[in-house]
Amino acid sequence: MLGSWFAMLILASQSPRRKEILANAGFHFEVRVPGVEEIRRNGESAEEYVERLARAKALAAARDGAEWVLAADTTVVCEGSILEKPEDAAGAARMLRMLSGRAHFVLTGVCVRHQGFSWSAVESTRVWFSPLSQDDISRYVAGGEPMDKAGAYAIQGAASAFIPRIEGCYFNVVGLPIARVRLLLAEAGYNFSRG
């Protein structure tokens, strides 16, 4: 596996999807979950919101300036509405009805923090949903998959059957735009070489 010799990262997230993406890309990391309140401020755009949360999570997780901390926050935007994780099955069904037959955007704010400095960016991916019947929605919600996902779906799970097309980074929709993360790490001076 690539990257076993990379500098250790602190992943400021408990998301199993982010952990899997980072591990598959060859990074050695430990998880440190920050206690950051995820509430959107008045007048804050979706882009500003996810980037601010990623920066706040990276700051909250950092204990030592020498550490390399990576944080992310993802949300879904459809027709101007921000769709975060549903609170219950009714909320998940409402979100899926909104997504049905439409395109929407998945936004992930990512932040790398090291030596008291932060580098951050927002990745955007456009996702198209096929029209969903009420039976489609009811079966999907009953399976439980939507409940801890922004926008109430998982592109890497059963919802893959609803998504005919995306434009942009697939891994962003899963929860961590790994190519953008690598660019941020490079910008921050992270050492990818054995030397």
Helix (H, G, I), strand (E, B) or coil at 7: coil
Neighbours of 19 (CB within 10 A): 17
Sign of CA dihedral 153, 169, 189, 193: positive
In this prediction, residue 67 carries a pLDDT of 92
- Its pTM surpasses 0.85: yes
pLDDT tens per residue, the chain (195 residues)?
Answer: 344 446 789 999 999 999 999 999 999 999 999 888 888 888 899 999 999 999 999 999 999 888 999 999 999 999 999 998 999 999 999 999 999 999 999 999 999 999 999 999 999 999 999 999 999 999 999 999 999 899 999 999 999 999 999 999 999 999 999 999 999 999 999 987 643
Cβ-based neighbours of 25, under 8 Å, separated by 6 or more: 2, 3, 178, 182
Output the six-digit token pair for 38: 């995820």
The residues carrying an active-site annotation are 73
CATH number of 9-188: 3.90.950.10
Does residue 152 contact residue 144 with C-beta atoms inside 8 Å? Answer: no
Domain parsing of the chain, residue ranges? 9-188
In this prediction, residue 10 carries a pLDDT of 95
Q: What separation in angstroms does the CA of 193 have from each of 1, 146, 186?
A: 14, 39, 11
In this prediction, residue 193 carries a pLDDT of 66
